[in-house]
Homo-oligomer: A and B are copies of this chain.
Amino acid sequence: MHESLRVNGSRLERRLEELARIGALESGGVCRLAFSPADKAGRNYVEGRMRSLGLEVRIDAIGNLMGIRPGREPGPVAVCGSHTDTVGTGGRYDGATGVLAGLEVMETLNEAGITTQRPLAVISFVNEEGARFMPDMMGSLFVRGDLGIGQARAVIGIDGTSVGSNLDDDTFPGSDDFHGFSFGSYLELHIEQGPVLESEGIQIGVVEGVQGIRWIELNLEGAAAHAGATPIEMRRDAGYVAGAIAQYARRLSLEIDAQRATVGFLSLYPNLVNVVAEQARLTVDLRNPDSARLGEAERRLHDFVEQTAALERVRVRSEKRVDVAPVVFDARIVGIVEAKARVLGVSSRRMISGAGHDAQIMAGLCPAAMIFVPSSGGISHNVREYTSAADIECGANVLLHTLLELGASNSGTDHAKFMQFNGLTSF
């Protein structure tokens, strides 16, 4: 049923242009840092669209915005969504695509006069980026109950203001907390933020999960020495050890299945051409969709660092800055996304998300999955971020038909059972 239904791609393109004008940068990108006036204006735009589509609007105490489209009967809600905040010099598509495509799905259903069995909803989470206030994915963490409202309000941002003062300065917060809300499922359409789909010429990424992430910060302390006068065997060269670690990160990436290891930050002291480096500071970003392999990568990294530093008589201080476990998305929803892409006649491939998303937080609360559309050149968090209107339309159609099936389903997730299965006890 409804197999021939399609979203209106040019309307969706227009909505994306309208939203991109809010917080627009001259360079073509967007700045809607979380809880800023531009962010609030963007969310007002979304709220206005929700109301004009006749959705029931709910706003929780931290500013998460939900528009609900009732079904023929109540029960677990098939939710889709994303976020509309951006990094400081962000693009037009990161987050906005998922929220506006969700609204386009609702508008398409309205026009077709379709009422699903279960309610549908579009949610726009606050502060997914974490660029102004840490942690990122703050909105979904609040919904899941990992972050209390007091905790969240107390967070101080890069400009020295608190989340709380920014909430009080405008009309953001409602009184809701969604904790009693029956999330039947959560589905997020998002740009890939990587180069895989484009380079393989594939339109849809069927996202099976999100990589685990560990950030290791290494501080190396050797001894400054004259580059000409100091024999190699007498050196305690922190720069050499840092270089060897950057090289070893690549080796881990090649030797451990699905491993990504990156040294993106590296600084030397005193950083002079003819002085053996006394200190080096570097970070290793480790990602793997498999928890055990991620652990193996970290163990092997530490072994290598320890051995190499000991041979060079360089002292090491190591700190784990981030440790997020991999997330595996719901197999049933992943299967539906894949099947719908096939029915729609668009190419797809299964993949793992390299970046973090609200969907990985929501996966602890209800069955969840994601749909990716290509990112031109793999560029994201950058004003040059671009995804074609055709690719977005394609993703929105997969979203439409997956939501139709999730909303049609009589078998809402038994919430208590799901939480038990996921080892979660209370929120």
Binding site for B on A (CB under 8 A): 192-196, 199, 211, 213, 215, 224-232, 234, 237, 239-240, 242-247, 249-250, 253-254, 260, 262-268, 271-277, 283, 285, 287, 321, 353-356, 378-382
Assess whether B247 is in contact with A355, with CB atoms less than 8 Å apart. Answer: no
Q: Smallest CB–CB gap between A89 and chain B, Å?
A: 11
**Residue in contact with A274 in the complex, picked from B226, B243, B262, CB distance below 8 Å:** B262
Residues of B within 8 A of A321 (CB): 273
Residues of B within 8 A of A243 (CB): 242-247, 249-250, 263, 266
Q: Which chain B residue lies CB-closest to A246? A: B243
Given contacts A263-B243, A265-B273, contact A225 B285 (CB under 8 A): no
Assess whether A273 is in contact with B264, with CB atoms less than 8 Å apart. Answer: yes
Assess whether B287 is in contact with A228, with CB atoms less than 8 Å apart. Answer: yes
Residues of B within 8 A of A228 (CB): 194, 211, 213, 260, 285, 287, 353-356
Residues of B within 8 A of A285 (CB): 227-228, 273-274
Residues of B within 8 A of A264 (CB): 227, 239, 268, 271-277
Residues of B within 8 A of A276 (CB): 262, 264
> Would you list 15 pairs from A and B whose C-beta atoms are within 8 A, ordered by A residue?
A194-B226, A194-B230, A195-B230, A213-B228, A215-B273, A226-B380, A227-B264, A229-B354, A229-B378, A240-B246, A242-B246, A244-B250, A264-B268, A265-B271, A265-B272
Q: Smallest CB–CB gap between A286 and chain B, Å?
A: 9
Distance, CA A355 to CA B276, complexed state (A): 13
Given contacts A240-B250, A247-B247, A262-B276, contact A196 B226 (CB under 8 A): no
Residues of B within 8 A of A195 (CB): 225, 229-231, 234
Residues of B within 8 A of A249 (CB): 240, 243
Distance, CA A262 to CA B278, complexed state (A): 12
**Residue in contact with A250 in the complex, picked from B192, B232, B246, B355, CB distance below 8 Å:** B232
